[in-house]
Amino acid sequence: MDQWRLAPYEPQWLGLFVNLGTGLRASLGSTALRIDHVGSTSVVGLDAKPIIDIQISVGNFDDEAGYKSAIESLGFELRKENPDKTKRYFRELPGHRRTHIHVRQAGSFSEQITLLFRDYLRVHLEDGARYVQEKHRLMGLYKNDRSKYVEGKGPIVWDILGKAHLWSQEVGWRPGRSDA
């Protein structure tokens, strides 16, 4: 299945996350302070690349040995070439369904902003619709250039995050319970 495409929202994405999240919770135990379904597949109604994104929040990000083998035991591998130093990035082994696992320090900016973006889009459907429209436009332009597609999302993501920041102050936002 070509997963480098945008697909209409599918309710099965939640079930896929629940299965993965349950396995991760069993394997990681209390090492994972949070396990959350993030990214566009976590927002009901959003078109998305059919790739499940999972954020695992840990108390000691630098203790890679404390979580690496537990995640790898479920069929994922650490991608050492990840340029984003705010997370450890794991992907599925070849031949398995595409999944992205992002391990972040609990309470860090990158962990919190990911949850805020998700929660804001779950409530503000009009901004979700704008985001989807821009993703379709960019996919049309950069179907064969993933880095340009991702880079192209920057302006709308930051625009939405600005609104999310104001909303968070109005409602006293903080992350809800962990998803798994």
pLDDT in tens, 40-56: 999 999 999 999 999 99
The amino acid at 128: G
Is 80 exceeded by the pLDDT of residue 156? yes
pLDDT in tens, 61-85: 999 999 999 999 999 999 999 999 9
Residue 144 CB coordination number (10 Å):
8
pLDDT tier at 2, thresholds 50, 70, 90: low
Is 60 exceeded by the pLDDT of residue 1? no
pLDDT tier at 3, thresholds 50, 70, 90: low
Sketch out the chain's domains with CATH numbers: 12-171 (3.30.460.10)
pLDDT in tens, 79-122: 999 999 999 999 999 989 899 999 999 999 999 999 999 999 99
How confident is the model at residue 5, as a pLDDT?
84
Strands 88-92, 99-105: pairing kind: antiparallel
Is 80 exceeded by the pLDDT of residue 178? yes
Residue 35: φ, ψ to 5°: -135, 115
Is 60 exceeded by the pLDDT of residue 161? yes
Is 90 exceeded by the pLDDT of residue 170? yes
pLDDT above 70 as % of the chain: 98
pLDDT in tens, 22-45: 999 999 999 999 999 999 999 999
CB under 8 Å, gap of 24 or more: what pairs does 63-68 form? 64/88, 66/31, 67/28, 67/31, 67/32, 67/103
Region class of 44: left (phi > 0), else alpha (psi between -120 and 50), else beta: beta
Q: What is the largest CA-CA distance in the chain?
A: 45
**Between residues 95 and 154, the one the model is more confident about:** 154
Is 80 exceeded by the pLDDT of residue 4? no
Residue 73 CB coordination number (10 Å):
11
The candidate with the shortest Cα–Cα distance to 130, out of 158, 150, 107, is 158
